[in-house]
């Protein structure tokens, strides 16, 4: 499949990494030759320098034979124009545009139809949604939803005083008293597929499959105090802040936004009448204390500088803020950050890139394609959701009789409204939803790919 | 440096070389040339052994591979390709001196066509085939071949770009399609198709099959090893003309052929390099024909010889139909100039390349204008598109490296006591992968008279010329071998 990516920035580079690993024919367009050269050096792709909305450049990139165009330049308008132009040149083309200006976000569905876009993505909005979900369940570092919200894979950190510390997985059920499955463990930056004898240690990050309705019970039995978040401080008043403040306000949560730029503060105050906008430097401890960091329920760092976000989050944790979320825009390498106590890490570009990769996979394989794909364990593992179809092999045969590929784990089977954490006797039936966890290197595109 | 990965890569390349020795072995077998059979048999086993050791040593290598590894890999691959490729000559005893055998095969793989042999027709058929085949494999590049058939280690890695850049000459090499494997395949398919076409045309002229295939290999790689002592001179005018046309065709940037296949005729016709290349060829033929009035009995013969020599020298092939060393000075000087300019970028030919010459002239013109009108901001354009300053810098650096290496080699080989013209043309002919030069290394003579030291210098020149200098230069740079 031929894919053209317009814009070789943070987002474009992340997409290139993910899509080239899956073996698509990629062509990158950007005006900046330096960025293109470094991408060309790293991946097996073709590059074209120029303005992606110009027909000549699109022609040069081979728009006529392309199947998909992804426009992720810095400017929404260019992205839209690029998609419209390209679609005009090749009506069979699928187009995805990144549109992130909040002023367009209400009209985006109409625009999608008017401009014949296949999909629009908004990384900042997506990040805000993700953060809101985390704020609803303090205690989890990350939540990925499957089976229309009925199953989740959540990330937990094992701290020294955790009830799970130094416990073997076989004995875990006695403590949590609900059906869960540890599908991956991240220890010292490496993902491990654990077996029953695996003993959890301090500092491990575990990825657990559980039914959504059991999450509260899980947290309670683990001794993680769940309290309702009432007051949140957002550092930085960018687009994510705006979207998040809107969402939080809807859930009745009190929001304080600290933003340095006076003009931006005025804008925010105009569009977010319900939030408290504070003008000041969020890196100043005095200001944070004055705004009550010591008794807020959550701190979310959303400034444009990754370093600053990390420092403020560290400070927040040291002040005893129960839940901290850190936004990282640029950093790829989250595994070196795993040991820092900066709470949950949300990377808008990763979230958005995952959404696009999901679309691409579905496009490639219309039938039997994964419904959802989430990368977990810092991108070292993938969790995919499939529907068991008529053509699925070994229907009704217990799992213990089947030969699954190495590093493939069946994490959950959803039968109707009931979720089943599988054991050797579980089996697939037509209509089931299955969650598979792999190390992401096996090239699994359909459910049948998991069998040897 | 990721030595394991490099070992694996070179090991794979050696397997390719070993496989290509099999046809030569079979030809020797069918001709009952037992010395050559022995030579090829032992070489094949040794090559496979070396490949096996490298592949074993490279087991479990990490995937990290960067520009430095890529370039070093190219340089080393070619040196090792030559060392093992020389074995059949040496072991069969047909070229008893190893430095001579090494010189001959490097001359083959780099498509130079400079020979140390005085008596070619006395060689066995298998050896002649191997000699000519080395041109064909070296012409498009053995690493490009490797890229076409395997993923070369890193499936989604971009480092393969450096391999293509190193083997596919030119200032600004890009892929034809997003995937390297497909690009390499397209290049080789075009190459094979043109070679087959060449063979058919030669056969139509009544050339024996073996001669036609070997001559086509020499033409396709723009190499120039003939299978007769007098190169192409003994064949009919028709065959000579076929060679003229095909040499010119193989000196064209292969992406032009790809564009023709895509029916983008306009882009091909507008290509400045193609225009310069064909224009230079036509102009040179015209001038030499005028200069050679009365040298040959008929005008037709004059044009034929002029055209053949011009296209042979310009594409850096090095076939000859006549002893152009006897031509008047003006014609010889034109040929000398063509030796340096060379063929087009992205072709199988060598030399400085028309595309680079074009950029050098354009940036020179800009500098001159800048002196007159310093405030004027000027951009160098090629085919109507602005050329990036980095490319211009690289081209100028290439020119400097090119000049320095030529002068240095010229100095080093002059200790042998040949005339200045011999030495200079020997260096130019080897460095630009042409083959014959003037005077003592002219089309009727050979390189046998040089000392082994000079031969080693010329071997390095040939490799540097074929790989566009930098992959060979960095092998001698200390910072290459330093730990990161």
Distance from CA of B350 to the nearest CA of A (A): 25
B159 vs A contacts (CB less than 8 Å) = 41
Question: With the C-alpha atoms ordered B245, B246, B251, B257, is the resulting torsion angle positive or negative?
Answer: positive
What would the two tokens of residue B244 be?
């003229």
Q: Taking CA atoms, what residue in B is nearest to A21?
A: B156
What is the length of chain A?
452
Q: Decide which of A231 and A147 is more confident.
A: A231
Distance from CA of B419 to the nearest CA of A (A): 46
Please tell me if residue A40 touches chain B, with a CB cutoff of 8 Å: yes
* pLDDT confidence of residue B422: 93
Residues A108 and A37 in one domain: yes
What are the φ and ψ backbone dihedral angles of A127, each rounded to 5 degrees? -60, -40
Q: From A221, A240, A256, give the residue that closes a domain.
A: A221
**Which helix (H) or strand (E) is A20 found in, with range?**
helix A10-21
Please tell me if residue A26 touches chain B, with a CB cutoff of 8 Å: yes
Longest dimension (CA), chain A: 66
**Chain-centroid distance, C-alpha A188:** 21
Q: Taking CA atoms, what residue in B is nearest to A18?
A: B156
Q: What is the mean pLDDT of residues A247-255?
A: 90
Which of B63, B70, B156 would best serve as a mutation to test chain A binding (most A beta carbons within 10 A)?
B156
Distance from CA of B59 to the nearest CA of A (A): 19
Q: From A61, A87, A121, give the residue that closes a domain.
A: A121
Inspect the interface and report whether the beta carbons of B161 and A40 lie closer than 8 Å.
yes
Look at residue A403 and tell me if it is in a domain.
yes
* pLDDT confidence of residue A225: 63
Cα B188 from Cα B141, distance rounded (Å)? 9
What would the two tokens of residue B275 be?
């225009």
Residues A401 and A305 in one domain: no
* pLDDT confidence of residue A162: 80
Please tell me if residue A414 touches chain B, with a CB cutoff of 8 Å: no
The band of A94, judged by pLDDT with boundaries at 50, 70 and 90, is very high
Inspect the interface and report whether the beta carbons of A41 and B160 lie closer than 8 Å.
no
According to DSSP, the residues that pair with B21 across neighbouring strands are none
* pLDDT confidence of residue A338: 64
Distance from CA of B178 to the nearest CA of A (A): 4
Question: With the C-alpha atoms ordered B204, B208, B209, B212, is the resulting torsion angle positive or negative?
Answer: negative
* pLDDT confidence of residue A363: 80
B155 vs A contacts (CB less than 8 Å) = 23, 44
SS (H, E, C) A313-352: HHHHHHCCCCEEEEECCCCCCHHHCCCCCCCEEECHHHHH
Residues A109 and A168 in one domain: no
Residues A37 and A89 in one domain: yes
According to DSSP, the residues that pair with A184 across neighbouring strands are A207
CATH number at residue A39: 3.40.50.720
Q: What is the mean pLDDT of residues A166-189?
A: 83
Residues A186 and A80 in one domain: no
Strand pairing class (A381-387; A372-376): antiparallel
Cα A355 from Cα A346, distance rounded (Å)? 14
* pLDDT confidence of residue A334: 60
Distance from CA of B68 to the nearest CA of A (A): 11
Please tell me if residue B389 touches chain A, with a CB cutoff of 8 Å: no
Look at residue A239 and tell me if it is in a domain.
yes
Would the pLDDT of A335 be above 70?
no
Neighbours of B142 (CB within 10 A): 23
Look at residue A128 and tell me if it is in a domain.
no
Please tell me if residue A67 touches chain B, with a CB cutoff of 8 Å: no
Under 8 Å between Cβ of A424 and A418:
no
Please tell me if residue B158 touches chain A, with a CB cutoff of 8 Å: yes
B154 vs A contacts (CB less than 8 Å) = 44
Please tell me if residue B119 touches chain A, with a CB cutoff of 8 Å: no
Look at residue A299 and tell me if it is in a domain.
yes
Residues A71 and A12 in one domain: yes
Cα A134 from Cα A136, distance rounded (Å)? 5
Please tell me if residue A21 touches chain B, with a CB cutoff of 8 Å: yes
| Helical spans, DSSP H, in A275-305 | 285-290
CATH number at residue A429: 3.30.70.1450
Under 8 Å between Cβ of B139 and B132:
no
Q: Which residue in A27, A39, A43 is closest to B156 by CB distance?
A: A43
Q: From A186, A221, A256, give the residue that closes a domain.
A: A221
Which residues lie below 8 Å from residue B404, measured CB to CB, with a gap of 6+?
none
Give, in degrees to the nearest 5, the angle at Cα B90 between B84 and B94. 135
**HSE-CB for B107 with a 13 A CA cutoff:** 32
* pLDDT confidence of residue B159: 67
Each residue's pLDDT tens digit, A370-385: 777 777 877 778 888 8
Give, in degrees to the nearest 5, the angle at Cα A386 between A385 and A391. 170
Q: Taking CA atoms, what residue in A is nearest to B267?
A: A60
SS (H, E, C) chain B: CCHHHHHHHHHHHHHHHHHHHHHHHHHHHHCCCHHHHHHHHHHHHHHHHHHHHHHHHCCCCCCCCCHHHHHHHHHHHHHHHHHHHCHHHHHCCCCCCHHHHHHHHHHHHCCCCCCCCCCCCCCCHHHHHHHHHHHHHHHHCHHHHHHHHCCCCCCCECCHHHHHHHHCCCCCCCCCCCCHHHHHHHHHHHHHHHHHHHHHHHHHCCCCHHHHHHHHHHHHCCCCCCCCCCCCCCCCHHHHHHHHHHHHHHCCCHHHHHHHHCCCHHHHHCCHHHHHHHHHHHHHHHHHHHHCCCCCCCHHHHHHHHHHHHHHHHCCCCCCCCCHHHCCHHHHHHHHHHHHHCCCCCCCCCCCCHHHHHHHHHHHHHHHHHHHCCCCCCCCEECCEECCHHHHHHHHHHHHHHHHHHHHHHHHHHHHCCCHHHHHHHHHHHHCCCCCCCHHHCCCCCCCCCCHHHHHHHHHHHHHHHCCCHHHHHHHCHHHHCCC
What are the φ and ψ backbone dihedral angles of A419, each rounded to 5 degrees? -105, 140
* pLDDT confidence of residue B17: 93
Residues A375 and A284 in one domain: no
Distance from CA of B6 to the nearest CA of A (A): 17
Cα B466 from Cα B430, distance rounded (Å)? 9
Q: Decide which of B210 and A400 is more confident.
A: B210
Q: Could you tell me the strand order of the sheet in which A408-415 lies?
A: A372-376, A381-387, A433-438, A408-415, A418-420
Cα A182 from Cα A169, distance rounded (Å)? 8
Please tell me if residue A441 touches chain B, with a CB cutoff of 8 Å: no
Q: Give me the tens of pLDDT residue by residue for chain B, a chain 484 residues long.
A: 778 888 888 898 999 999 999 999 999 999 888 889 999 999 999 999 999 999 998 887 777 777 788 888 889 999 999 999 999 999 999 999 999 999 999 999 999 988 898 888 888 999 999 999 999 999 998 888 888 887 654 555 666 777 777 787 777 777 888 888 888 899 999 999 999 999 999 999 999 999 999 999 999 999 888 888 888 888 999 999 999 999 999 999 999 999 999 888 888 888 999 999 999 999 999 999 999 988 899 999 999 999 999 999 999 998 989 999 999 999 999 999 999 999 998 899 888 999 999 999 999 999 999 999 988 888 888 888 888 888 899 899 999 999 999 999 999 999 998 999 999 999 999 999 998 889 888 888 889 889 999 999 999 999 999 998 888 888 888 888 877 5
Give, in degrees to the nearest 5, the angle at Cα B249 between B246 and B251. 115
Look at residue A362 and tell me if it is in a domain.
no
B178 vs A contacts (CB less than 8 Å) = 2, 25-27, 44-46
Inspect the interface and report whether the beta carbons of A39 and B158 lie closer than 8 Å.
yes
A65 vs B contacts (CB less than 8 Å) = none
Please tell me if residue A42 touches chain B, with a CB cutoff of 8 Å: yes
Please tell me if residue A46 touches chain B, with a CB cutoff of 8 Å: yes
Would the pLDDT of A153 be above 70?
yes
Inspect the interface and report whether the beta carbons of A41 and B158 lie closer than 8 Å.
yes
Under 8 Å between Cβ of A322 and A138:
yes
Look at residue A328 and tell me if it is in a domain.
no
Distance from CA of B369 to the nearest CA of A (A): 27
Which of A18, A23, A44 would best serve as a mutation to test chain B binding (most B beta carbons within 10 A)?
A44
In the stretch 408-467 of chain B, residues with CB closer than 8 A to chain A read none
According to DSSP, the residues that pair with B291 across neighbouring strands are none
Give, in degrees to the nearest 5, the angle at Cα B212 between B208 and B215. 140
Residue whose C-alpha is closest to residue A438's, from A207, A214, A211:
A207
Which residues lie below 8 Å from residue A1, measured CB to CB, with a gap of 6+?
A24, A25, A67, A68, A360, A363, A364
**Which helix (H) or strand (E) is A29 found in, with range?**
strand A25-30
Which residues lie below 8 Å from residue B366, measured CB to CB, with a gap of 6+?
B378, B380
ipTM of the complex as predicted: 0.79
Q: Decide which of B195 and A177 is more confident.
A: B195
Distance from CA of B67 to the nearest CA of A (A): 8
Q: Taking CA atoms, what residue in B is nearest to A37?
A: B158
Q: Which residue in A21, A27, A41 is closest to B178 by CB distance?
A: A27
Please tell me if residue B157 touches chain A, with a CB cutoff of 8 Å: yes
Cα A144 from Cα A156, distance rounded (Å)? 12
Residues A374 and A441 in one domain: yes
Inspect the interface and report whether the beta carbons of A45 and B158 lie closer than 8 Å.
yes
Under 8 Å between Cβ of B285 and B306:
yes
What is the length of chain B?
484
Cα B359 from Cα B385, distance rounded (Å)? 12
Residue whose C-alpha is closest to residue A95's, from A115, A110, A114:
A115
Residues A81 and A150 in one domain: no
Q: Which residue in B174, B180, B390 is closest to A44 by CB distance?
A: B180
Burial class (CB in 10 A: 0-12, 13-18, 19+), B287: middle
What would the two tokens of residue A60 be?
């040069």
Look at residue A354 and tell me if it is in a domain.
no
In the stretch 64-83 of chain B, residues with CB closer than 8 A to chain A read 66-67
Each residue's pLDDT tens digit, B448-467: 889 999 999 999 999 999 99
A43 vs B contacts (CB less than 8 Å) = 156-158
Domain with A293, as residue range(s), is 231-321
Residues A166 and A104 in one domain: no
Distance from CA of B388 to the nearest CA of A (A): 9
According to DSSP, the residues that pair with A186 across neighbouring strands are A191, A205
Which residues lie below 8 Å from residue A305, measured CB to CB, with a gap of 6+?
none
The band of A447, judged by pLDDT with boundaries at 50, 70 and 90, is confident
What are the φ and ψ backbone dihedral angles of A186, each rounded to 5 degrees? -110, 110
Q: Which residue in B155, B161, B182 is closest to A41 by CB distance?
A: B161
Distance from CA of B251 to the nearest CA of A (A): 25
3 state DSSP class of A47? strand
B393 vs A contacts (CB less than 8 Å) = none
Residues A8 and A103 in one domain: yes
Cα A34 from Cα A40, distance rounded (Å)? 10
Count of the separate structural domains present in chain A: 4
Please tell me if residue A39 touches chain B, with a CB cutoff of 8 Å: yes
* pLDDT confidence of residue A440: 65
Look at residue A93 and tell me if it is in a domain.
yes
Under 8 Å between Cβ of A67 and A365:
no
Please tell me if residue B177 touches chain A, with a CB cutoff of 8 Å: yes
Residues A304 and A208 in one domain: no
Inspect the interface and report whether the beta carbons of B178 and A23 lie closer than 8 Å.
no
Inspect the interface and report whether the beta carbons of B158 and A27 lie closer than 8 Å.
no
Each residue's pLDDT tens digit, A1-55: 899 999 998 899 989 988 888 788 999 999 988 898 888 888 888 999 899 999 9
A25 vs B contacts (CB less than 8 Å) = 177-179, 182
């Amino acid at each position: 499949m031929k894919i053209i990516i317009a814009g070789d920035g943070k987002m474009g580079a992340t997409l290139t990494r993910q899509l080239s690993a899956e073996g698509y024919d990629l062509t990158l367009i950007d005006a900046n030759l330096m960025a293109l050269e470094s991408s060309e050096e790293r991946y097996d792709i073709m590059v074209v320098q120029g303005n992606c909305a110009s027909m000549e450049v699109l022609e040069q990139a081979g728009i006529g034979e392309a199947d998909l165009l992804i426009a992720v330049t810095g400017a929404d308008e260019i992205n839209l124009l690029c998609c419209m132009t390209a679609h005009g040149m090749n009506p069979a083309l699928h187009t995805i545009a990144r549109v992130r200006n909040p002023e367009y976000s209400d009209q985006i569905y109409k625009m999608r139809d008017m401009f014949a876009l296949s999909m629009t993505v908004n990384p900042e909005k997506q990040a805000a949604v993700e953060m809101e979900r985390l704020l609803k369940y303090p205690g989890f570092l990350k939540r990925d939803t499957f089976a229309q919200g009925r199953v989740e894979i959540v990330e937990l950190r094992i701290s020294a005083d955790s009830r799970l510390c130094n416990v073997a997985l076989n004995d875990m059920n006695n403590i949590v008293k609900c059906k869960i499955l540890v599908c991956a463990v991240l220890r010292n930056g490496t993902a491990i597929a654990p077996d029953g004898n695996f003993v959890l240690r301090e500092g491990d990050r575990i990825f657990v499959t559980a039914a959504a309705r059991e999450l509260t019970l899980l947290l309670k039995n683990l001794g993680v105090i769940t309290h309702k978040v009432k007051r949140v401080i957002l550092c930085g008043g960018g687009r994510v802040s705006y979207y998040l403040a809107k969402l939080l306000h809807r859930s009745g949560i009190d929001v304080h936004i600290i933003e340095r730029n006076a003009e931006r503060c005025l804008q925010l105050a105009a569009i977010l009448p319900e939030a408290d906008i504070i003008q000041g430097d969020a890196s100043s401890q005095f200001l944070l204390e004055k705004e009550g960091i010591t008794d807020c329920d959550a701190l979310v760092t959303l400034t444009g500088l990754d370093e600053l976000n990390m420092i403020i989050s560290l400070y927040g944790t040291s002040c005893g803020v129960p839940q901290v979320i850190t936004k990282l825009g640029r950093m790829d390498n989250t595994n070196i950050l795993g040991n820092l106590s900066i709470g949950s890490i949300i990377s808008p570009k990763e979230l958005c890139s995952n959404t696009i990769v999901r679309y691409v996979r579905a496009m490639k394989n219309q039938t039997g394609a994964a419904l959802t794909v989430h990368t977990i364990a810092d991108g070292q593992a993938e969790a995919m959701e499939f529907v068991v179809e008529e053509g699925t092999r070994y229907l009704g045969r217990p799992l213990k009789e089947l030969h699954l590929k190495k590093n493939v784990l069946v994490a959950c089977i959803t039968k109707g409204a009931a979720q089943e954490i599988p054991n050797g006797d579980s089996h697939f039936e037509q209509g089931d939803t299955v969650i598979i966890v792999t190390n992401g290197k096996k090239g699994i595109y359909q459910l049948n790919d998991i069998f040897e | 440096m990721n030595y394991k990965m490099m070992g694996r890569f070179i090991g794979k390349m050696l397997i390719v070389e070993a496989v290509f020795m099999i046809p030569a072995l079979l030809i020797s077998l069918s001709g009952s040339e037992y010395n050559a059979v022995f030579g090829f048999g032992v070489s094949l086993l040794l090559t496979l052994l070396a490949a096996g050791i490298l592949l074993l040593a490279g087991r479990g290598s990490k995937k990290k591979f960067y520009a430095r590894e890529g370039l070093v890999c190219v340089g080393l691959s070619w040196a090792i390709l030559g060392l093992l490729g020389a074995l059949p000559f040496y072991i069969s005893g047909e070229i008893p001196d190893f430095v001579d055998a090494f010189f001959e095969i490097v001359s083959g793989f780099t498509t130079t066509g400079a020979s140390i042999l005085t008596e070619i027709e006395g060689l066995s058929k298998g050896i002649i085939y191997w000699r000519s085949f080395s041109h064909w494999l070296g012409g498009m590049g053995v690493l490009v071949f490797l890229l076409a058939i395997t993923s070369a280690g890193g499936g989604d890695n971009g480092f393969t770009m450096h391999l293509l850049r190193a083997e596919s000459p030119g200032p600004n090499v890009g892929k034809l399609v997003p995937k390297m494997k497909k690009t390499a395949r397209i290049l080789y398919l075009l190459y094979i198709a043109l070679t087959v076409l060449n063979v058919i045309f030669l056969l139509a002229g009544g050339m024996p099959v073996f001669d036609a295939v070997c001559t086509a290999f020499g033409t396709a790689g723009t190499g120039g090893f003939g299978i007769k002592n007098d190169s192409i001179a003994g064949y009919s005018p028709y065959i000579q003309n076929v060679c003229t046309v095909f040499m010119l065709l193989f000196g064209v940037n292969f992406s032009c052929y790809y564009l023709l296949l895509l029916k983008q005729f306009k882009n091909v016709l507008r290509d400045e390099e193609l225009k310069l290349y064909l224009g230079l060829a036509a102009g040179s033929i015209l001038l030499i024909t005028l200069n050679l009035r009365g040298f040959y009995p008929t005008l037709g013969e004059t044009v034929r010889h002029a055209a053949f020599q011009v296209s042979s020298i310009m594409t850096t092939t090095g076939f000859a139909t006549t002893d152009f060393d006897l031509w008047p000075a003006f014609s010889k000087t034109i040929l000398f100039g063509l030796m340096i300019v060379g063929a087009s970028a992205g072709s199988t030919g060598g030399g400085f390349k028309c595309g680079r010459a074009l950029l050098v002239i354009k940036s020179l013109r800009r500098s001159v204008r800048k002196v007159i009108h310093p405030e004027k901001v000027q951009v160098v354009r090629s085919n109507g598109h602005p050329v990036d300053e980095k490319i211009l810098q690289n081209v100028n650096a290439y020119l400097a490296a090119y000049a320095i290496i030529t002068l240095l080699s010229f100095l080093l080989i002059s200790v042998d006591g040949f005339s200045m013209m011999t030495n200079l043309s020997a260096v130019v002919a080897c460095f630009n992968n042409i083959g014959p030069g003037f005077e003592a290394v002219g089309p009727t003579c050979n390189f046998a008279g040089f000392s082994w030291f000079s031969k080693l210098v010329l071997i390095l020149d040939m490799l540097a010329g074929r790989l566009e200098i930098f992959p060979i230069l960095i092998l001698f740079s200390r910072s290459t071998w330093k730990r990161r």
